[in-house]
Amino acid sequence: MIPTGAPDHDHIARLTAGMLLEIGAVHFNAKEPFTHASGKQAPTYIDCRKLISYPRIRATLMDFLAVTVMREAGFEAFDNIAGGETAGIPFAALLAERMGLPMTYIRKKPKGYGRHARIEGELPEGARVLLVEDLTTDGGSKLSFVEAIRQSGGVCGATAVIFFYDIYPGTRAHLADHGVDLIALCTWWDVLAEARRREAFDDATLTEVEAFLKAPDAWQAARQS
């Protein structure tokens, strides 16, 4: 069933942040920072993959995402939902079901055999595709998936995620320069605000996290000096 009603954007952001905190997907540690895939350290880490193990929460968030996509992009804006390997695949499947649309998924790299395909499933020429992933940091990985969709004959002008870091300036503009709009349910700022409301972490940790979110590059440089 296609959801047609939901709270406003700010309420969705707060509820989403609360759900992420509730299932322990949010990790803050200022004393022993996390090392991300980029090799950089941060006092923050989020694991949106955990959502697939919580049926009530994942169902609610997928309803929120479906409504948000239709509000921001239109009710008939897409012909296909594509999940990025690997974290985006389950969320793309759930969203496609809600929106009554076909689904495909995109490999990070071509298969080393057969058709050497990056797109799995059927993608008609000219199909308008919504790229779905669990999160985005600076938007870089999204463009690789978008390129694969376009090379396969699809039209991709939007990506939807549950979580957007929103701490690196120019991310939305960078995606827009490549013809891609970003749709997201919540950001680190929403999570930080909700963590404070719930007193989910001690004040010293939240203060350090806020310092990082305001100036991530400076925070990382200071720790390396």
CATH number at residue 160: 3.40.50.2020
Amino acid identity of residue 30, one-letter, is: A
Mean pLDDT across the chain, nearest whole number? Answer: 93
Read off the pLDDT of residues 137-181 as tens digits, 9 standing for 90 and up.
988 889 999 999 999 999 999 999 999 999 999 999 999 999 999
pLDDT at residue 222 in the model: 84
pLDDT score at 39: 77
**Domain annotation covers residue 2:** no
User: What pLDDT does residue 5 have?
Assistant: 73
Q: Which residue has the higher pLDDT, 38 or 6?
A: 6
Select from 194, 205, 132, 123 the least CA-distant residue to 163.
132
Question: 30 lies in a domain?
Answer: yes
**Residue 114: is its pLDDT beyond 80?**
no
pTM score of the predicted model = 0.93
Which DSSP string do the residues of 1-52 spell out, in sequence order?
--------HHHHHHHHHHHHHHTT-EEE-SSSPEEPTTS-EESEEE-GGGGG
User: Taking 60 as the threshold, does the pLDDT of residue 134 lie above it?
Assistant: yes
Share of the chain above pLDDT 90, in %: 84
- Which range of 15-19, 34-38, 118-122 scores highest in mean pLDDT? It is 15-19
What's the rounded mean pLDDT across residues 210-215?
96
**What is the mean pLDDT of the segment spanning 51-67?**
97
Contact between 167 and 213 under an 8 Å Cβ cutoff? The reply is: yes
Task: Give the pLDDT mean for 114-128.
Answer: 87
- Number of structural domains found in the chain: 1
Answer whether residue 66 is part of any domain.
yes
Instruction: Output helix, strand, coil percentages for the chain, rounded to the nearest 5.
Output: 45, 20, 35
Does some domain include residue 157? yes
The whole-number pLDDT of residue 1 equals: 60
Sign, CA dihedral 63-65-71-77, equals negative
- Mean pLDDT confidence for 40-53: 95
Can you give the residue range of the structural domain that contains 68?
Answer: 9-216
